[in-house]
Amino acid sequence: MGNLAIRFDGVSKRYHIGALRKANLTFREAITGTIMAGVRRIGRRLRSRNEAPSEDTIWALRDVCLEVKHGEVLGVIGRNGAGKSTLLKIVSRITEPTSGCGEVFGRVGSLLEVGTGFHPELTGRENIYLNGAILGMKRLEINRKFDEIVDFAEVAKFIDTPVKHYSTGMYLRLAFAVAAHLEPEILLVDEVLAVGDARFQKKCLQKMEDVGHEGRTVLFVSHNMPAITRLCQRAILLDEGHLVADGPAHGVVSRYLGSGAVLSGVREWPDPAKAPGGEIARLRAVRVRDENGQVTDAVDIRRPVDLEMEYDVLVPGYALMPNFQFVNEHGLHLFSTHDVDPAWRRRPRPAGRYVSVARIPGNFLAEGMLFVGAALVTIEPIFSQQFYERDAVAFQVVDTMEGDSARGDYAGIMSGVIRPLLSWRTRAYSDSAVSPA
């Protein structure tokens, strides 16, 4: 057993959706809720003997059995909500499983908690000690690595300055340096959460590779399939909480891509029998195109991008409304867009093949991965959904840091789910009462 780093034996984790949605209920709600739950439970019991599957819970992980050896670099893949982050949370003991058990051998560190606990009022030196202690380092250990951390972060000159005066770059470097020097036996990397600019993300990946070479265990969650196959020998695939594949990274990645859960800029259904659709219309393809019409899975934040839906109308006489749903990498539904092209709006269509295109302007989306769901409904004479393909395509929005995007000259993390480029005006009032002292 000494060779094992992680062992999961039938680990499951259930979340109460109610608890997630309105986490902070009041006493009154708790009391009424408890009474109502009791009433419902009695009601259910009267109706049937079987324990009905509760509707307000979801299983983020279900019966996951897993063994990871020391020194193994394991890729964890799956679509949004498949349970990847929950898996990492259980390994790091942030949350405990609902059932099942397991063992984790060694100190767990993660590159998703970079800068956690940093306080702006404290100096760089103070924050190194504080952050180190939060991550589980002993003071002696921090003393020993202190110079190394400061060197790595390139902040020696400002080490006794409060970090609120640091540039974002310095702040991130320092935070990363502390996390990187923790030297955990097991390192967790959630690429989705590794915020920051491209250079910083690269540094995270580099560090991960180094750690892998040093014989440590790494769990790497990513949507970036090439990175998974490059860095990991082995991968696991999660789907709705179930571990559905476990094996050599190449095999698992191809299975994932082949399963139709492709996360790329194009998705096609050559066989109509297997395509999503109803009796009236059937989906053929969804594509992401840049402004030159090239299919792409990475777009410049400043340029427009076209979302294209190709579909066959099988039965004439219906007015249709194609639409797209945009979800970001944190699973947040950003917006939906409906086809309002007057050419076909509320007009019955003849049977045949159609292509509907929605153009998203440049300087509107925020950086990061976007997942696009494609759907089609009939509006008249009846309302019916013909298909809804969740995560049909995905693409990356990339900020080029050239200074002409909405971020201007700021190089650090910009939060927010959209990033419009707005017009700004600043006027100087030189005759105002305020004068330099």
In the bound state with other proteins, the residue whose beta carbon lies nearer, of 17 and 198, is 17
The single-letter DSSP state of residue 54 is P
**DSSP-assigned beta bridge partners for residue 1:** none
CB of 75 to other proteins, least distance (A): 21
**DSSP-assigned beta bridge partners for residue 321:** 377
Q: How far is C-alpha 297 from the chain's CA centre? A: 16
Q: Are 299 and 290 contacting, i.e. CB atoms less than 8 angstroms apart?
A: yes
**DSSP-assigned beta bridge partners for residue 14:** 59
CB of 277 to other proteins, least distance (A): 38
- Exposed/middle/buried for 357, CB within 10 Å: 0-12, 13-18, 19+? middle
CB of 41 to other proteins, least distance (A): 20
CB of 121 to other proteins, least distance (A): 5
In the bound state with other proteins, the residue whose beta carbon lies nearer, of 67 and 126, is 126
In the bound state with other proteins, the residue whose beta carbon lies nearer, of 191 and 300, is 191
CB of 17 to other proteins, least distance (A): 12
Q: Are 18 and 107 contacting, i.e. CB atoms less than 8 angstroms apart?
A: no
Distance, CA of 299 to CA of 383 (rounded, Å):
35
CB of 29 to other proteins, least distance (A): 9
Distance, CA of 308 to CA of 377 (rounded, Å):
16
In the bound state with other proteins, the residue whose beta carbon lies nearer, of 9 and 297, is 9
**DSSP-assigned beta bridge partners for residue 238:** 243
Pairing of strands 57-69, 4-16: antiparallel
**DSSP for 141-207?**
HHHHHHHHHHHHHT-GGGTTSBGGGS-HHHHHHHHHHHHHTT--SEEEEEGGG--S-HHHHHHHHHH
In the bound state with other proteins, the residue whose beta carbon lies nearer, of 22 and 230, is 22
The single-letter DSSP state of residue 91 is H
CB of 2 to other proteins, least distance (A): 5
**DSSP-assigned beta bridge partners for residue 309:** 286, 356
Q: What sign does the dihedral 38-43-46-47 (CA atoms) show?
A: negative
CB of 157 to other proteins, least distance (A): 21
**DSSP for 277-318?**
B-SSEEEEEEEEEETTS-B-SEEETTS-EEEEEEEEE-SSSB
In the bound state with other proteins, the residue whose beta carbon lies nearer, of 8 and 220, is 8
In the bound state with other proteins, the residue whose beta carbon lies nearer, of 241 and 373, is 241
In the bound state with other proteins, the residue whose beta carbon lies nearer, of 136 and 317, is 136
Residue numbers at the binding site for other proteins (CB under 8 A): 1-3, 8, 11, 15, 19-20, 23-27, 30, 70, 89-108, 112-113, 116-117, 119, 121-122, 126, 129-130, 133-136, 138-139, 185
In the bound state with other proteins, the residue whose beta carbon lies nearer, of 98 and 254, is 98
**DSSP-assigned beta bridge partners for residue 333:** 327
CB of 309 to other proteins, least distance (A): 38
